[in-house]
Structure 1
Amino acid sequence: MRLHPPLTDSRQPRLCVGLLSGTSVDAVEAALCEVTGTGDSVRLRLLSHVSVPFPRELVARVLGPQDAGSLSQLNFELAEHFADAARQAMARAGVTPEQVAAIGSHGQTMAHVPPGADGTPSTLQIGEPAVIAERTGVPVISDFRTRDMAAGGHGAPLVPYLDWAVFRSREAPRALLNIGGIGNVSVVSARLEDTLAFDTGPGNMALDGLARRVTQGRLACDMDGTLSRRGRVIPELLAELLEHPFLAQPPPRSAGRESFGEVLVERMWARHPERPYDLVATALEFTVESIAQSYETWLLPRFPRLEGMYVSGGGTRNPSLMERLQARMMPLPVYTLDTLGFPEGAKEAALFALLAAEHLVGTPANVPSATGARRRVVLGKLTP
């Protein structure tokens, strides 16, 4: 199905760079991919991946209070970092800008108000595409979430399209879990319309915020699980966290910093400022338990015989988190995405290379069964 005239021929390989700054706001991830075919026949090959850290002071400004002036400046400033990461991904693969069909830039999410929340459903990602196009000489496709929201969806999660296109098995349904700032899961099988996907709740966001507080900014995350291992879960606080109304919402559902960011960190810190490591351990358990309960409530009844769960995102680099998740999910096997032969750190950036490639040929790439949109739509806006 196509919704507008294609800009290029789907039978020809398209080289596209995908760019992403996640809710953890630690780095720009850039992936250069070769995409051939479209829809059911689409194939993606990863050519290079780079991760370019943000300066610490820039992270502090992104996470801090905003007004129109500061957002305007960050929009252009972040774009310079995105452009630099795109150039590095191209250089690593030995590819010139002239060979690249498009850059797909997700940008940095600054606000996300899903349907059902207070206020008008809306989403805002910054990282000015005109700056990226000007610095790289490559057309940029951006704002992937807005068209799905205009069609009545949550604009998230977007990753189910990649999960289905690249990782589906024709033998049994397969779960793909991403633990970024927010956790999200997709269950994919042979048919795209059978996909179930939604945000599970907190990922690393609260963990990262507490790590910055505990170490007074020396660490931006629970590095190697060292902070959470020093603490013990506070049972009454965990029980309170698990009563968060988001966790009771049925899919489709999406979450953001508004639910599990600094407001939550502040609330936890105010309860037990004298127990910093216990708070980190509790935040880790909150992430694990929200994932497990999502599986038990929404996935297991529909997919009683999953092949396994394959995990990507920054959470995979926290051994404490992975150990707890594997123990809690038994007997369901839990692996890292690398088991399928794809580097987990490149997955989300590769998604936006794929979405850019599908935009170029006019193929809808949202998954209404995941986002709740009324129909399938072509995602993104082109800056030539």
Structure 2
Amino acid sequence: MTQRQLYIGLMSGTSADAIDVALVDLQFSPKLIAQHSLPLPYKIQQQIHALSLPDENEIDRMCALDTELGQLFAQASLDLLSKAKIANHDVVAIGSHGQTIRHRPPGSIQGTFTLQIGDPNLIAELTGITTVADFRRRDMAAGGQGAPLVPAFHQAVFKSQKHDRVILNIGGMANITWLPAEGKTSGFDTGPGNVLMDNWVQTHLNKSYDANGDWASTGSVNPELLNLLLSDAFFSLPAPKSTGRENFNRTWLDNHLHILPSQPAAVDVQATLLELTATSIATSINQLSPAKKEIFVCGGGAYNTRLMQRLANLLTNSTVMSTSALGVDPQWIEAMAFAWLAQQTMHRKSGNLRAVTGANREVILGGVYYA
């Protein structure tokens, strides 16, 4: 019997609402063995979001949160192992993306750097499992954007020799991986995914997200606001490009709202934010190739019925569906990707794609913290 190669992937994205944990067998094609989600307390979410923008006493606050998140990442991993009835010594390594609190890609006026916290020393110590973390900075050291990194996993798992495919991840931010049947893989961030919609519905309905896009579907798109938002310089930047909450946040939205001669109803702002996400994604995909494409959506946005409908309406020459059509639950793809990236590192193989991040070369990503 072939021995399994078990890895754990840990992911906490821009929304910072939960830690997603995936146990993956990487002996052959990645196979999801078990999954778990640990909700982050609201206080922790607030602390994460506060650290995404400059403020006072940042170093003390960041270091305290680094420790607390390291403990939570470890607890999430142990919870998964208990649930799956797997011993820690049966897992080769954990791949932890960490929690991004600041991302300044090349060209940022503040400098070029990225920072993900959730102390991997604690993860390795508390779980007894070798941990790979800090994936982005080696790509940036090689001249890259440091993100997105998941396209390498998309290429390994989802590339077709017959069909042109796009893997669309809609988390807090949205990014695409272009997988032509013939030719090189590419990919980039397209702009905000759920981040602005989630923040707006939290403010006005005290809900963490707009389930199915139900609230947005009752509003009307404000064309003037939409055009203002789409005028942001990021949308016209050429790839490779990456972004985050540092650029697209509530202050950014409020600054555009204040330009309008009159303020739209809250529900119309929600409808406009959904249209912003759909339009910026569709424009990016339509620029890839005029040919018909298979578009597979993952991340939280795959569950937003209204958003999926708008994407289908805007991408009439393509089919739009969830990655569940490929046999992979859309919620767990990013966590699975970091399990795969950990294996790449442990095998001393590169994990970035030059055509995606713009790095000078493909490099081994991350630091290894041995159990």
Same fold (TM over 0.5): yes
- Structure 2 residue ranges without an equivalent (≥5): none
Work out the CA distance in 1 between the residues paired with 2:246 and 2:236.
17
Q: Name whichever of 261-270 and 24-33 sits farther off.
A: 261-270
Work out the CA distance in 2 between the residues paired with 1:131 and 1:90.
17
1:238-257 paired onto structure 2 within 5 Å: 238-257=226-245
Work out the CA distance in 2 between the residues paired with 1:269 and 1:223.
24
Work out the CA distance in 2 between the residues paired with 1:320 and 1:51.
25
Work out the CA distance in 1 between the residues paired with 2:126 and 2:7.
16
Number of residue-to-residue matches in the alignment: 362
Q: CA deviation at 1:224?
A: 2.4
Q: CA deviation at 1:117?
A: 1.8
Amino acid at match of 2:297: V
Q: CA deviation at 1:277?
A: 0.9
Work out the CA distance in 1 between the residues paired with 2:317 and 2:92.
44
Contact kept? 1:268, 1:279, Cα under 8 Å:
no
Contact kept? 1:163, 1:186, Cα under 8 Å:
yes
Work out the CA distance in 1 between the residues paired with 2:220 and 2:47.
32
RMSD: 1.7
* 1:89 corresponds to: 80
- Percent identity among equivalent residues? 39
Work out the CA distance in 1 between the residues paired with 2:237 and 2:74.
38
Match of 1:224 among 212, 222, 228: 212
Amino acid at match of 1:265: L
Q: Name whichever of 119-128 and 222-231 sits farther off.
A: 222-231
Contact kept? 2:93, 2:343, Cα under 8 Å:
yes
Contact kept? 1:157, 1:198, Cα under 8 Å:
yes
Contact kept? 2:25, 2:32, Cα under 8 Å:
yes
Q: CA deviation at 1:262?
A: 2.6
Match of 2:140 among 143, 149, 162: 149
Over residues 265-315 of structure 1, what are the superposed CA-to-partner deviations in whole Å (9 max), with x where a residue is unaligned? 333554565611111111000000001111122x125xx242x10000111
Contact kept? 1:142, 1:381, Cα under 8 Å:
yes
Contact kept? 1:105, 1:352, Cα under 8 Å:
yes
* 2:201 corresponds to: 211
Contact kept? 2:165, 2:181, Cα under 8 Å:
no
Amino acid at match of 2:199: G
Work out the CA distance in 2 between the residues paired with 1:102 and 1:266.
43
Contact kept? 1:140, 1:382, Cα under 8 Å:
yes
Q: CA deviation at 1:263?
A: 2.3
Work out the CA distance in 1 between the residues paired with 2:4 and 2:243.
35
Q: Which runs of 4+ in 1 moved over 6 A?
A: none
1:83-122 paired onto structure 2 within 5 Å: 83-122=74-113
Contact kept? 2:229, 2:256, Cα under 8 Å:
no
Work out the CA distance in 2 between the residues paired with 1:27 and 1:266.
26
Q: Cα gap change, 1:363/1:190 in structure 2, threshold over 3 Å: closer, same or farther?
A: farther
* 1:39 corresponds to: none
Match of 1:52 among 30, 38, 50: 38
Q: CA deviation at 1:85?
A: 1.3
* 2:309 corresponds to: 323
Amino acid at match of 2:302: T
Work out the CA distance in 1 between the residues paired with 2:256 and 2:72.
33
Amino acid at match of 1:236: E
After TM superposition, the score normalised by the length of structure 2 is 0.94
Pair 1:294 & 2:280 matched:
no
Q: CA deviation at 1:229?
A: 2.0
Q: Cα gap change, 1:98/1:273 in structure 2, threshold over 3 Å: closer, same or farther?
A: farther
Work out the CA distance in 1 between the residues paired with 2:247 and 2:315.
24
Pair 1:136 & 2:122 matched:
no
* 1:5 corresponds to: none
1:52-71 paired onto structure 2 within 5 Å: 52-65=38-51, 66=55, 67-71=58-62
1:1-384 paired onto structure 2 within 5 Å: 13-36=4-27, 43-65=29-51, 66=55, 67-189=58-180, 194-215=184-205, 218-268=206-256, 270=258, 271=260, 275-297=265-287, 299-300=288-289, 304-306=291-293, 308-384=294-370
- Structure 1 residue ranges without an equivalent (≥5): 1-10, 37-41
Q: CA deviation at 1:92?
A: 2.6
Over residues 301-336 of structure 1, what are the superposed CA-to-partner deviations in whole Å (9 max), with x where a residue is unaligned? 5xx242x10000111111111111111111210010
Q: CA deviation at 1:173?
A: 2.1
Q: CA deviation at 1:260?
A: 1.1
Contact kept? 2:228, 2:256, Cα under 8 Å:
no
Work out the CA distance in 1 between the residues paired with 2:281 and 2:334.
19
Work out the CA distance in 2 between the residues paired with 1:225 and 1:68.
38
Over residues 194-213 of structure 1, what are the superposed CA-to-partner deviations in whole Å (9 max), with x where a residue is unaligned? 10101111100111111111
Work out the CA distance in 1 between the residues paired with 2:3 and 2:184.
28
